[in-house]
Amino acid sequence: MAAGVAHEINNPLGNISLYTQMLLKNTDDENTKEKLTIINDETNRAAQIVKGLLDFARQSEPKLTRIDINKEIEKVLGIMTPQLKDIKVTTELEPLPRIRADSGQIQQVIMNLLKNSIQSIKKKGELMIKTATKNDYVEINISDNGCGIPKEDLNKIFDPFFTTKEMGKGTGLGLSISYGIIKRHNGSIEVKSNIGKGTTLTIKLPV
Ligand SMILES: Nc1ncnc2c1ncn2[C@@H]1O[C@H](COP(=O)(O)OP(=O)(O)OP(=O)(O)O)[C@@H](O)[C@H]1O
Ligand SMILES: [Mg+2]
């Protein structure tokens, strides 16, 4: 239902954007141009939010195969190299048993967590990624030395649409989608954070 509505909202948004761009081309008045540009940008922002909602509604059952979590982490780090340029990344990846999980979805989770860490870092960024085998689960730890999360926000960060990012930067869906994926793998995801010091997210997945 939400997905259907979201989809239909995209059509009028597309038309608003189209007509705004037509008006933009036909005017030389700077003040009008400025306002039309704002309408256009805000329309695009609404379209982005709708897109997020669609991705959220489309969350599918995991397609399980036997995967090595360390390999998935390395793949994601490879993809994200350009965004990690000024950040010192340390990995401590213990050899792991293969677990039954959806490779694409696990990569999506790791990517969301890394993206949050990158966005939380202002300068001299450091990221630490650790994996280990505990009794009957595999543990992934992703730590950063970023801005940290205030105590009163800790129980909200997994809620859909909770974001502290400036207008247009975040939709607040990254962690709620990740939470859903880990739950459907019968795993858990937890957060520990210190303001000004950094944040650690811990994922546990059953072997
Ligand atoms: N590593 C982190 N350091 C500091 N704050 C974090 C971290 N990870 C999450 N947060 C906080 O949790 C909020 C929700 O995160 P989430 O990934 O769900 O949404 P978002 O990053 O704001 O937007 P989106 O992921 O949709 O682009 C963030 O806005 C931020 O306040
Ligand atoms: Mg995010």
Asked if residue 42 and residue 112 are part of one domain, the reply reads no
Please say whether the beta carbons of 162 and 171 come within 8 A. no
The domain in which residue 193 lies consists of 65-206
Asked if residue 37 and residue 19 are part of one domain, the reply reads yes
Asked if residue 44 and residue 73 are part of one domain, the reply reads no
Asked if residue 116 and residue 45 are part of one domain, the reply reads no
What's 173's domain CATH number?
Answer: 3.30.565.10
What's 50's domain CATH number?
Answer: 1.10.287
Asked if residue 154 and residue 93 are part of one domain, the reply reads yes
Q: Give the CA angle between residues 181, 186, 188 to the nearest 5°.
A: 75
Query: pLDDT tier at 69 (50, 70, 90 boundaries)?
Result: very high
Residue recorded with tokens 């009163």: 152
Ligand 1 atom 28, closest CA: 163
Distance 127 CA to ligand 1 centre (A): 16
Domain count, the chain: 2
Q: What is the pLDDT of residue 7?
A: 72
pLDDT tens digits, 171-201: 888 999 899 999 999 999 999 999 999 999 9
Asked if residue 127 and residue 35 are part of one domain, the reply reads no
Distance 172 CA to ligand 1 centre (A): 6
Distance 100 CA to ligand 1 centre (A): 27
Which ligand 1 atom is at minimum distance from the Cα of 148? 4
CA distance 206 to 57: 25
Asked if residue 158 and residue 69 are part of one domain, the reply reads yes
pLDDT tens digits, 12-60: 898 999 999 999 999 999 999 999 999 999 898 888 878 777 777 766 6
- Can you read off the two tokens belonging to residue 155? 């129980």
pTM for the model stands at: 0.81
Neighbour-count burial of 82, counting CB atoms closer than 10 A to its CB (0-12 exposed, 13-18 middle, 19+ buried): exposed
DSSP character at residue 87: S
**For the chain, how big is the Rg over CA atoms in Å?**
20
